[in-house]
Amino acid sequence: MWTNIHARVHQTLKDSCILPHKSNLLIAVSGGQDSLCLLKIMIDLQEKWGWNIAIAHCDHGWASDLGIADHVEKIANNWNIPFYLKVAKAMKETEAAAREWRYQSLVEIAEENDCREIVTGHTLSDRSETLLYNLIRGAGSNGLGALTWKRPLTNNINLVRPLLKVSRGETLEFCQQFALPIWEDAANANLDYARNRIRQELVPYLKENFNPNVETTLSQTSEVLKAESDYLEAEANKILLSAVNDHNSKLNREVLKGVPLALQRRVIRQFLAKIMVSKPNFEQIEETVNLIDAPRKSRTSSFPGKIMLEVEENYIVQKRTK
Ligand SMILES: Nc1ncnc2c1ncn2[C@@H]1O[C@H](COP(=O)(O)OP(=O)(O)OP(=O)(O)O)[C@@H](O)[C@H]1O
């Protein structure tokens, strides 16, 4: 039986072409409501799309993960789907370390089993929470449009998120409707994690006091910002290529002078990303943008290590301090 969610996901896949017909899909299943909903939908759409489906699970090896891998394996066996497991050894208990290891493990499983598409259960709710999380940390429109439908993980393997128009409330209802055995992850209750506080405290507060549809509107904002930032990044890159020299050591200010500030900032950020080890911060970008119209010999002072930029005639030149 197809539900409204099946029909919406099917339509999204038809419109967006994010998942090719007849491909091998590796579904990343955590055991939670989102990935179980995803798994059932992919199985139900499988015949229409000619996919081969396999399940991947990543066990962090933490005490709180005990039992999840067996639970997911049982689901795979019940549905007669190949199951692949990676288990971490002595992994740090941080969100960032866990995420990095998970994506690396998923790529390994995909490579070992000839899958080009890794599919995750990220929802519209995750997208709105990611926007809030990145906004609070000071991201620009690149970061606010971060959770996308498809992105490459390697030259051959993509991460695909077909549920970005489905909310977490809907995935729960879906699992209840089909009696799917959701694993309640204890880590989701841990309010030490910023993301859990956004999900459990901030979003409900915004829904109740500002906008009951805040998840949908933020998710749409993220979609719009993604398209705008992709466009601006591409334009900025063209300008950078015409302003920078072969060694990435100097920028022609004359090329940048007539350009709108929104693009100047992006060109400078892309330039700094080439010459710095760490990501350039807001002050460093602003200081460098100011050099575009500054008098000769003006220089930066906010860079780490020995990096310094100085105006020499028509150029902003990278120099080493002593
Ligand atoms: N342990 C796991 N094993 C396999 N897949 C997982 C696991 N944890 C998460 N996933 C996949 O990632 C999706 C998103 O889960 P979650 O939001 O917890 O991950 P995240 O890494 O925090 O997300 P993000 O990429 O936004 O940082 C899940 O729906 C599932 O498809």
Tokens for 203, please give them.
């979003």
Q: Which ipTM did the prediction report?
A: 0.93
Q: Which atom of ligand 1 is nearest to the CA of 147?
A: 26
Indicate the pTM of the whole model. Answer: 0.91
Share of the chain above pLDDT 70, in %: 100
Check which CATH number belongs to the domain holding 296 and give it: 1.20.59.20
Mutation choice for ligand 1 from 59, 120, 123, CB with most ligand atoms inside 8 A: 120
Q: With respect to residue 227, please indicate whether it lies within any of the assigned structural domains.
A: no
Q: With respect to residue 237, please indicate whether it lies within any of the assigned structural domains.
A: no
d(CA 145, CA 8) in angstroms, rounded, equals 22
Q: With respect to residue 235, please indicate whether it lies within any of the assigned structural domains.
A: no
Residues with CB under 6 A from ligand 1: 28-30, 34-35, 56-58, 99, 102, 120-122, 126, 130, 147
Range of the domain at 273: 243-318
Report the pLDDT value the prediction gives residue 185, as an integer from 0 to 100.
82
CA of 272 to the centre of ligand 1 (A): 32
Report the pLDDT value the prediction gives residue 19, as an integer from 0 to 100.
98
d(CA 199, CA 125) in angstroms, rounded, equals 8
CA of 232 to the centre of ligand 1 (A): 29
Report the pLDDT value the prediction gives residue 188, as an integer from 0 to 100.
84
d(CA 123, CA 32) in angstroms, rounded, equals 12
d(CA 293, CA 295) in angstroms, rounded, equals 7
Give the residue ranges of the annotated binding site: 30-35
Same structural domain, 128 and 206: yes
d(CA 147, CA 131) in angstroms, rounded, equals 8
Per-residue pLDDT tens digits of the chain, which is 322 residues long: 899 999 999 999 999 999 999 999 999 999 999 999 999 999 999 999 999 999 999 999 998 889 999 999 999 999 999 999 999 998 888 888 999 999 999 999 999 999 999 999 999 999 999 999 999 999 999 999 989 999 999 999 999 999 999 999 999 999 999 999 999 887 788 898 899 999 999 999 999 999 999 999 999 999 999 999 999 999 999 999 999 999 999 999 999 999 999 999 999 999 999 999 888 999 999 999 999 999 999 999 988 877 899 999 999 999 877 6
Check which CATH number belongs to the domain holding 182 and give it: 3.40.50.620
Q: With respect to residue 67, please indicate whether it lies within any of the assigned structural domains.
A: yes
* Residues 114 and 180 sit within 8 Å (Cβ to Cβ): no
* Residues 21 and 49 sit within 8 Å (Cβ to Cβ): yes
Report the pLDDT value the prediction gives residue 96, as an integer from 0 to 100.
87
d(CA 173, CA 41) in angstroms, rounded, equals 14
Report the pLDDT value the prediction gives residue 99, as an integer from 0 to 100.
93
* Residues 210 and 104 sit within 8 Å (Cβ to Cβ): no
CA of 78 to the centre of ligand 1 (A): 22
